[in-house]
Chains A and B, each alone.
Chain A
């Protein structure tokens, strides 16, 4: 799961895709995930970090993760 290279992200949760002109807003967790993806961290690393810091169990996070990734893909933000 890799973010497209030219995608601009900000810590406040603003995302801009220069090739399509689309912009997006993210909630806090969404923004954290995107920033870490931009740092090329692996999915496992990112999920572990969230599990450590947030009050969430693994199965819910897994489910939300898959859902979020499919939204990123639908919005043409992923590499493949």
Chain B
């Protein structure tokens, strides 16, 4: 006779009528498959923890976002935000879909070039571009988005003896009614610095001011803030054309559209509160279209959306290492993944699903990562079925920023796989090895050995 499936004994006090602070219990579905591939099999083959990306979901997100804008505005171009996820396979999915590249460092710039993105389809953002990098970007006819006056003057100097003017834009920061206001990047709109930068560029005669850029924040929940941003960029473009006779070819509204993740401390899950991408598209498109440009002078609209295009295409599979009770009686579950690879657990209450069947009994618990470090907490409080050692879980919506911001701290980084359109798995980044980790280390001769 085969034995019954075991689950540890649980007792739970019933608080009739009291709404618990964990809200609706949507986390109660086992997730055994991703894109038709069994979680169990993936972990058996590639180890635990394991990042899994869905190519289908990435393409779906991209196409839906493109459609949302293209059905409202005639000229739209997306540029993939490398910092959001710069694994080459991932970047190339978006490049295949038609995305340009948006980079913020020399490292990312070279990654985009190496991926085959033509130089004139790379947007070079950020406060840190070395003189060599600027020269290279000029040579490649890339779109250089100027962040500060020091960079502006450096560019004018570099352009002194060039026959072809470098193509530049300025990053503009502004009050869109959103707090906190990101005023550390670019030139401010309200106090006139942005206009000042525009006039300096045009007056120099050395640079070709082709665009205006802003990126008002990330995980923005207010479509109307984009309408304000768009109208302020339109205002600058309008004056650049009419006062300086310098028409602006494109407006780049940046990224920042939210994914359906739940921010820490939010009462309702992100899936209930996050506006649809169509609402952002409507706010931006209608503002620019109604601004008053002649139809043939409407600027190209560029978007640098990252998070919204990839977050829900990424999953983290993991396993339970142990259970324990804390001094106050709370249950603690220790997972084999922590903040080292799930950096976004500092911002989000990630949804976590068991990957196997369970009974309806659940307990409020804290989920810890495996690091010997006090802040390694994946969820401070989550109501989940009781998980035993070895049980597997699926963490949802982890595709954005984790695989770029992960830390090599205490543990090494795991395999990353992509499930392609046909349901086939591909390793797109191998798990790290000790040899790889030590590749760049050098031990001076006198420290090579010791006796203990």
A positions within 8 Å CB-CB of B: 15, 22-30, 33, 53-56, 60-61, 63-65, 67-68, 70-72, 74-75, 77
* Chain A neighbourhood of B360, CB < 8 A: 27
Is B12's CB under 8 angstroms from A25's CB?
yes
Q: Mark B345-378, 1 if CB is under 8 A from A, else 0.
A: 0000000000000011100000000000000000
Q: How far is the CB of A53 from chain B (nearest CB, A)?
A: 6
Size band of the interface chain B makes with A: 20 to 34
Residues of the B chain whose Cβ atoms lie less than 8 Å from the Cβ of A72: 11
Q: Does B241 contact A (CB under 8 A)?
A: no
Please classify the interface of chain B as helix (H, G, I), strand (E, B), loop, or mixed, using the class held by over half of its residues: loop
- Please provide the 3 A-B residue pairs with the shortest distance between their CB atoms, ordered closest to farther: A56-B6, A64-B8, A30-B9
Contact for A25 among B6, B325, B361, B386, CB less than 8 A: B361
B325 and A67 contacting across the interface, CB-CB below 8 Å: yes
Is B164 at the interface (CB under 8 A from chain A)? no
- CB contact list, B1-30 vs A, under 8 A: 2-14, 16
CA distance A44 to B339 in the complex (A): 41
Contact A71 B11 (CB under 8 A): yes
Residues of B within 8 A of A25 (CB): 11-12, 14, 361
For A54, what are the chain B residues with a Cβ–Cβ distance below 8 Å? 3-6
Inter-chain contact count A-B, CB under 8 Å? 73
B10 touching A27 by the CB < 8 A rule? Answer: yes
Residues of B within 8 A of A (CB): 2-14, 16, 323, 325, 329, 359-361, 386, 388-389
Q: Could you list some 5 contacts between A and B, CB below 8 A?
A: A24-B13, A24-B14, A26-B9, A27-B360, A30-B11
* A26, B10: Cβ atoms closer than 8 Å: yes
- Report Cα–Cα, A72/B10, bound state, in Å: 10
Q: Which residue of A lies closest to B13 (CB)?
A: A24
A75–B9 Cα distance when bound, in Å, is 15
When distances are taken between beta carbons in the complex, the residues of chain B under 8 Å from A15 are 11
